[in-house]
Structure 1
Amino acid sequence: MLSLHEVEEAAQVVYAAMPPTAQYAWPLLARRTGCEVWVKHENHTPIGAFKVRGGLVYMDRLKRTQPGLKGVVSATRGNHGQSIAVGAAKVGIVATIVVPQGNSVEKNAAMRAFGAELVEAGHDFDAARDVALRLASDRGLSMIPSFHHDLVRGVATYALELFRGAPALDTVYVPIGLGSGICGVIAMRDALSPATNVVGVVSTEAPAYALSFAAGKVVPTNSANTMADGMAVRGPDAEALSVILKGADRIVQVSDDEIGLAMRAYYEDTHQLTEGAGAAALAALMQERQRMVGKRVGLVLSGGNIDRPLYLRTLADRGPV
């Protein structure tokens, strides 16, 4: 899907706005899981999530190729919308972002702060995306999908950094929303570390990609009700699924309880703030602990954007850590 040269070019756009993020090996995580654990800290970007890289690259290309553009619109649960807001502001384009009703209060506030017009409509992400498509037609705006070549090209820059910055990895666990992150990891794995296995992670409450991976075709679901809003997707993207089918070793499903446990583990072992999707990779590793003993593993901590009340409830849970 992507060449190394394309991603290196995208990195120049990304690094004009932010430095590379770190990848660290955390000894307490190693003790907990029985393997060497390298965490890619995408919670340290300007929006607290990996998505900003894709928004910067997408909007840079749009500004250069469509200089007279009236504006853009997109749908999100939060991190994608922040990325578009940041990228649009950087190139002087007006952005409208549609979020589901009841969306994260703090993510909504961040999108507004980055300069986006926020529209709250629909009961979940897929319904919000339908509203965004209508707004694109009614207002003459360019609709930005949540999965696109330029978005993948941008977010693949974190995988470029990971594979160049960490020792050779046996396996990398990557959370899946609509798939840009894992597709970027697969592309850079192919280019830089072909022996590394890539494992996708989804929620048991939003299993569409796991079901689709097992079936070898797109299998949508009727609901996606998980605390990990970054993975709350009902309808897989066909192009993303094609890349995942060819390049992923497997997809692991983790429950909200397992995600909560991983969030508490991240806090205790690294003092990192994580959102649900951000902790999902660690949740999958903990589930597969026996399988990974003695190996060198990469975890994508994709973001740390979580509302304070939810995070406090998660930390206060008395479940085992």
Structure 2
Amino acid sequence: MTDTYAVPTATGLPDHADLLDATRAVREVFPATPQQVWPLLGQDLGATVWVKHENHTPLGAFKARSAVVFFDRLARSGPLPRGVVSATRGNHGQALAYAAGRHRIPATVVVPHGNSREKNDAMRALGAELIEHGDDFQESLDHAVRLADERGIMLAPNFHPWIIAGAGTYALELLSAVPDLEVVYVPIGLGSGVCGMLAAKAALAHPVEVVGVVSAGATAYADSIAAGELVSTPVTTTLADGMACRTPRADALALIRDGVSRLVTVTDDEVSAAMRLLFRSTHNVAEGAAAASTAAAVQERARNADRTVGVVVTGGNVDTDVYAAQLGRTVDGA
């Protein structure tokens, strides 16, 4: 057993300077993603709807931003680790392999058994060593912790202020482009995406109402806020794998509890309908977790009548057979 390479310490939400520095790092690798109003989607939701297209990053998900920023700051903080390991359901692992590879650092990712085949293939194609272990994300994470200790490499975090800063760059783009945005819906997995939105809101003093979205099959954050303490909840979602968090993080929970106006819970059926709606009205592919924000906006259609609404399509990495099955459904005529 060897000493694990420790992640540099950082705390709290990134400020405006942090987000600008993170934006610089991202721009060195890829351009801003679009935010766009789609009239057909607006007709369905009875509002002006801005879609933030994080499915348009080079990796098809917002996680690319966080990994680029994390390794940029790691490179500036001291000697780089000889290797990194982390757990993922897919998008974080792709981003880890991508950003680590740019710095010539070997990356290992641990995924649960039965994980997305196409995401697994993408991680391998990006150079990651892929290990299948456990029945859910938490068991994969526990194994990643052991591997970091055994190999003496860095456990790359899924949640960290540098990770939030990277995620916050998408939110900074959206809120800067749409100063009159009234409400924005953000899916919650482990929490970096919604915390990035909270950071950008604070940095710009933007009045937008931030609404967090959780899966009805992964209610750990909602249950923890209701209980006033950390609560682990079994994960049952089969479609929103990017939101499949069983055990919340205390630091993420505190930021979400204090920052979001409320949480909306969406079912897999609602997510499926939102995937079809997004394709029909924008011809964009959204994975389950990415469609959750739109599902929440559909659920709150009456509340948002004639308002300016934002939905974050966090990624488009969904297996072909899964997506085809959702497009082929006709639940409620959708």
Is this a same-fold pair by TM over 0.5?
yes
Q: CA deviation at 1:186?
A: 0.6
Mapped to 1, the partners of 2:245 and 2:162 lie a distance apart of 20
Q: Which runs of 5+ in 1 are unaligned?
A: none
Task: Output aligned runs, 1:1-321, within 5 Å.
Answer: 1-319=13-331, 320-321=333-334
Q: CA deviation at 1:246?
A: 1.0
Mapped to 2, the partners of 1:194 and 1:306 lie a distance apart of 32
After superposition, the C-alpha distances for 1:182-206 in whole angstroms (9 at most, x for unaligned) are 0010111122243211000011010
Alignment length, in residue pairs? 321
TM-score, normalised by the number of residues in structure 2:
0.94
Deviates more, 1:141-150 or 1:299-308: 141-150
Mapped to 2, the partners of 1:91 and 1:60 lie a distance apart of 9
After superposition, the C-alpha distances for 1:54-91 in whole angstroms (9 at most, x for unaligned) are 10111122233342521000000000111111110111
Q: CA deviation at 1:48?
A: 0.2
One-letter amino acid matched to 1:190 = A
TM-score, normalised by the number of residues in structure 1:
0.98
Q: Secondary structure at the match of 1:278?
A: helix
Q: Secondary structure at the match of 2:297?
A: helix
Q: CA deviation at 1:224?
A: 4.0
What stretches of structure 1 move > 6 A for 4+ residues in a row? Answer: none
Mapped to 2, the partners of 1:27 and 1:107 lie a distance apart of 31
Cα gap change, 1:193 to 1:272, in 2 (>3 Å): farther
Mapped to 2, the partners of 1:174 and 1:217 lie a distance apart of 22
Q: Secondary structure at the match of 2:74?
A: helix
RMSD of aligned Cα (Å): 1.0
Q: CA deviation at 1:143?
A: 0.3
Q: Which runs of 5+ in 2 are unaligned?
A: 1-12
Deviates more, 1:248-257 or 1:164-173: 164-173
Q: CA deviation at 1:226?
A: 3.2
Q: CA deviation at 1:217?
A: 2.5
Mapped to 1, the partners of 2:51 and 2:179 lie a distance apart of 12
One-letter amino acid matched to 1:276 = G
Identity of aligned pairs, percent?
51
Q: Secondary structure at the match of 1:317?
A: coil
